[in-house]
Amino acid sequence: MTEMDENARHREKMAKRKAVQDREVASKTETRGLLAVHTGAGKGKSTAAFGLALRMLGRGKKVVVIQFIKGAWDTGERHALERFGDQVTWHALGEGFTWETQDRERDIAACERAWDIAKQALQSEDIALVILDELNIALRYDYLALDRVLTDIAARSAGQHVWVTGRNAKPALIEAADMVTEMMPVKHHFKAGVRAQEGIEF
């Protein structure tokens, strides 16, 4: 087969592929607010959610970030996103990871405070995206009632998107979600003795 024949065959193959893709895209007619979950043992769940926040901000939309469990870390993503001014509201409301606090009542109280703020954001019509960072951890340890969380998310402002992160997502949350991504670890430098670095992990 000559190079000209290969090019012609490729064009024909891609034309068929484009026709299939165009039909698939044309069949999608619904637009609505989405509930998505980033879970799994791999790294990058929160980072992916913050990437979506950047996309929203680039479109001039408002974003609220509510961090459960995590304390008031000095993170690069917070510094970057807060440069968008009043387009972003960031709440770091955790007391630190559960193995650090070792105080269940304190963790529950912190999660309750965080959820009160989350519920306000979910009811706000001018907020396009609510990121509930590490909410899955709070649900895993029963710091918040799953039924309450699902009810409040379902009752959110029309058209609002909600992104939930954290390991061990509850089956009921996965069932309720429109999109679920499971991050799986393949290899990580931490296992080789490389410590967390500014600009990479935080």
pLDDT in tens, 93-143: 876 555 555 678 888 999 999 999 999 999 999 999 999 999 999 999 999
Q: Would you tell me the crossing angle of helices 104-122 and 146-154 to the nearest 10 degrees? A: 10
Could you tell me whether strands 179-182 and 35-39 are parallel, antiparallel, or unpaired per DSSP bridges? parallel
Name which of 70, 109, 127 is nearest 93 in CA terms: 70
| Cα distance between the two ends of the chain | 53
- What's the rounded mean pLDDT across residues 169-178? 98
| Tokens standing for residue 120 | 């306000």
Strand partners, 97: none
Mean pLDDT on 33-37 = 98
Q: Which of 18-32, 76-90, 150-164 has the lowest mean pLDDT?
A: 18-32
pTM recorded for the entire structure: 0.88
- Report the share of the chain in percent with pLDDT over 70: 95
How does residue 72 score in pLDDT terms, banded at 50, 70 and 90?
Answer: low
